[in-house]
Amino acid sequence: MSPPPPRRLIGYARVSTEDQLNDAQVDELKASGCRVVHQEHGSGASRSRPVLAKLMREIAAGDVLIVVRLDRLARSVSHLLEVIEQLEARGAHFRSLRDPIDTSTPQGVFSLQVLGAVAQLERALIAERTKAGMKAAKARGRLAGNPGLRERRPEAVRAISAARQRAYI
């Protein structure tokens, strides 16, 4: 009986827009042992990700797909679980560096399901609060939303981006 093939650590880095850089994610993935890092630009809300789709077709038994954070892979529990099921069907595993997720262990699978559900609840609550705020603004005759973002002021865009990063951490 031959020994199992060595497992490959395969990184996946995604940013939302073309003008963002994957550099920090790529560095962290390489530092964790990933020799190959697939990079993609695209919204987390969209399931149409050609690089991820190609990676999923090519991943082999024993391989480990690694991301820096869960939100780099999926924005909904259903999408996250779909990817994990595809990996499991191929005999591969999933690991998130900053979340306690490693699907090669039962505890990691449980953590994945709990964290995914909490993240989805938080997004739903944020969307609900946003809609309520926009409705209230409209009722008062004001234009809803952040004026700095509407006007695409760089300082407003940076502030929102930094706030989202802090909220995630």
> Which comes out higher in pLDDT, residue 2 or 97?
97
Give pLDDT, residue 40. Answer: 87
Which of 18-27, 55-64, 123-132 has the least mean pLDDT?
A: 18-27
Backbone angles phi, psi at 94, to 5 degrees: -135, 140
> Which whole number is the average pLDDT over 63-76?
87
Give pLDDT, residue 68. Answer: 93
Look at residues 113, 109, 3 and name the one whose alpha carbon lies nearest to residue 62.
3
Task: Give, for 120, the enclosing helix (H) or strand (E).
Answer: helix 106-139
In this prediction, residue 2 has a pLDDT band, given cuts at 50, 70 and 90, of low
> Which whole number is the average pLDDT over 132-149?
82
**Which structure tokens are listed for 44?**
């987390």
Backbone angles phi, psi at 19, to 5 degrees: -90, 0
Give pLDDT, residue 85. Answer: 87
**Cβ within 8 Å of residue 68, ≥6 positions away:** 13, 24, 25, 28, 29, 96, 97, 98
Give pLDDT, residue 43. Answer: 61
- Contact at 8 Å (CB) between 58 and 30? no
What is the model's pTM? 0.63
Give pLDDT, residue 60. Answer: 93
Q: Name the residues annotated as catalytic.
A: 16
> Which comes out higher in pLDDT, residue 145 or 54?
54
Q: How many Å from the N-terminal Cα to the C-terminal Cα in the chain?
A: 46
Structural domains of the chain in order of their starting residue, each with its CATH number = 9-113 (3.40.50.1390)
In this prediction, residue 70 has a pLDDT band, given cuts at 50, 70 and 90, of confident
**Which structure tokens are listed for 39?**
């990079």
Instruction: Look at residue 44 and tell me whether its pLDDT is greater than 60.
Output: no
